[in-house]
Structure 1
Amino acid sequence: MRDPQAEPSDLIRSVSRAFQVLEAVGQSPRGLTVKQIARRCELTVATTYHLVRTLAYEGYVMRREDGTYIVGLEVADRFRELVLACRGPQQVQDILRKAATDTGFTHMIGRFITNRVAIVAVAEGVRSPYAEDLIVGFDDGAHATALGKALLATLSADQRWRFAKEQGMPAFTPQTLTSPETLDADLTAGERRGLHLELNQFRPGIGSAALLVLPDREQDRRVALACTVPATELTASAKAIKTRLTTVAQQLAEILRE
């Protein structure tokens, strides 16, 4: 959600409205007519028509035969560029893929993007339970995933409390930590053991482990590595998982420091 207090004084309204239109279309996979877009964005039909035609010309929305608009292919191109910029070199994906193949566990890396914890690369493993949310671009639930905890642990207590207030701490499962106090205690334990853990906190039946790959004074340059495993295996395998993650993290650090 946009913060009205953070609105720049030189905001270009037409650009802002165009993005509102694009977001409305993107949130409606079945497509929207111009009138439907106008209602959702609280714009006049005439203004919406001009914005939609411009977005269609640039390839960011597409008109279907029934007159509705859906997201255009240019969005996919921008997404790929974002992934590359945030993930780093192709070697990063290669390392994750090898780790997933060797262990059977899904591996991923994440970092802070505009003050949110986002997944920027994933390689799926055949032994990990499938979680449809844990894909590139996912930026919710940092308090409920080991990946998020590894990054949140790099913040000061005040920064974490502010993060929790702004992002919220919803309960994904009955085991989710939903207060800053319990999260702080969990992060302290994770730092002490050198491995952040999460068991059934994000999705039932799934556990995850994570550690920091790159510490950095700049928040958006910090990178964390995680793997997801069946919840029943996490506790018994935590020591072995930490060893493997440490090795993979060292390989990633060498690439990402270049």
Structure 2
Amino acid sequence: MRDPLAEPSDLIRSVSRALRVLEAVGRAPRGLTVKQIARRCELTVATTYHLVRTLAYEGYVIRREDGTYIVGLEVADRYRELVSAFRGPPAVGETLRRAALDTGYSHFLGRFIGGQVAITASAEGPRSPFLEDLVPGFDEGAHATALGKALLATLTPEQRYRYLKEYGMRPFTAATLSTVEAFEADLAAGDRRGMHLEIGQYRQGVACAAVLVAPDKDMERRVALACALPAAEMMTSARMVRSKLLAAARALSEAMVAVDHSV
């Protein structure tokens, strides 16, 4: 939901309307007609027609034979560019892949982007359950994932409270923490053990562990590393998981420092 009070004085309305059209089309996998787009975006049909024609010319929407419009391939290209920018330099991606290969567990990197927890890179491991939701992009379940916990633990209690109030604490499973008090106690336990955990809080039968890779005064430069594995394995292998995660975190930190020094 856009905040009307935050609208810039120099807003270019034609650009804003075009983005609203693109969002509407993106939410409708079966496609939309120009009239349907106009109704959903609260625009006139004539204005919508011109916007759709422009987006189609640029490749951001595609007109099908039945007259409906779907998202175009240019959107996929922009997504790949976004993922590449999130992932960072090749050395970081290679270190992440080595960690997944060494343990067999899927590994994830995350950081704050625009004040929101985001997954920035991932490497799949064959021993981990497939988690289709944990792909590069914003993490709407930060309170239920170890990655989110590791990052939120770096905030002050007041900052965390505001974050949880804004993004909510959706109950993904019966084990998902649903109160700020329970969440604060969970973070304190994670700090004591040197690794943040969740077991069945995001997905039944799945566990995740996470550690901080790069602490920094700048919130947007803080990086966390997580891995996912069957919950039963976490119950018996927590110490090994922590040891492997810390080793991978050190390797990632060194890779990031090396890149910073080369710039």
TM interval, shorter chain, is over 0.9
In the alignment, does 2:80 pair up with 1:80?
yes
Matches within 5 A, 1:23-34: 23-34=23-34
Matches within 5 A, 1:190-205: 190-205=190-205
In the alignment, does 2:54 pair up with 1:54?
yes
Distance (Å, rounded) in 1 between the aligned partners of 2:207 and 2:5:
38
TM-score for both structures, normalised by structure 1? 0.97
Question: 1:144 corresponds to which residue?
Answer: 144
Aligned-partner SS, 1:17: helix
1:162-214 CA-to-partner distances (Å, cap 9, x unmatched) read 00111011111010011111111111111111100000000101000001111
Deviation at 1:3, TM superposition (A): 2.2
Aligned-partner SS, 2:216: coil
Distance (Å, rounded) in 2 between the aligned partners of 1:135 and 1:234:
22
TM-score for both structures, normalised by structure 2? 0.95
1:96-139 CA-to-partner distances (Å, cap 9, x unmatched) read 11211221111010111122111111111111111111111142
Distance (Å, rounded) in 1 between the aligned partners of 2:29 and 2:79:
17
In the alignment, does 2:71 pair up with 1:71?
yes
Asked if structure 1 preserves the Cα contact closer than 8 Å seen for 2:61 and 2:71, the reply is yes
Aligned-partner SS, 2:134: coil
Distance (Å, rounded) in 2 between the aligned partners of 1:205 and 1:72:
37
Equivalent pairs counted in the alignment come to 258
Specify the code of the residue in structure 1 equivalent to 2:74.
E
Specify the code of the residue in structure 2 equivalent to 1:256.
M
> Unaligned 5+ residue runs, structure 1?
none
Deviation at 1:92, TM superposition (A): 1.7
Runs (4+) off by over 4 Å = none
Deviation at 1:83, TM superposition (A): 1.5
Deviation at 1:58, TM superposition (A): 1.4
Aligned-partner SS, 1:98: helix
Distance (Å, rounded) in 2 between the aligned partners of 1:102 and 1:49:
53
Distance (Å, rounded) in 2 between the aligned partners of 1:41 and 1:179:
36
Deviation at 1:4, TM superposition (A): 2.4
> Unaligned 5+ residue runs, structure 2?
none
- Calculate percent identity across the aligned residue pairs: 67
Distance (Å, rounded) in 1 between the aligned partners of 2:41 and 2:217:
39
Aligned-partner SS, 2:137: coil
Q: For structure 1, which segment, 160-169 or 246-255, has the greater mean C-alpha deviation from structure 2 after superposition?
A: 246-255
Aligned-partner SS, 1:177: coil
Matches within 5 A, 1:178-197: 178-197=178-197
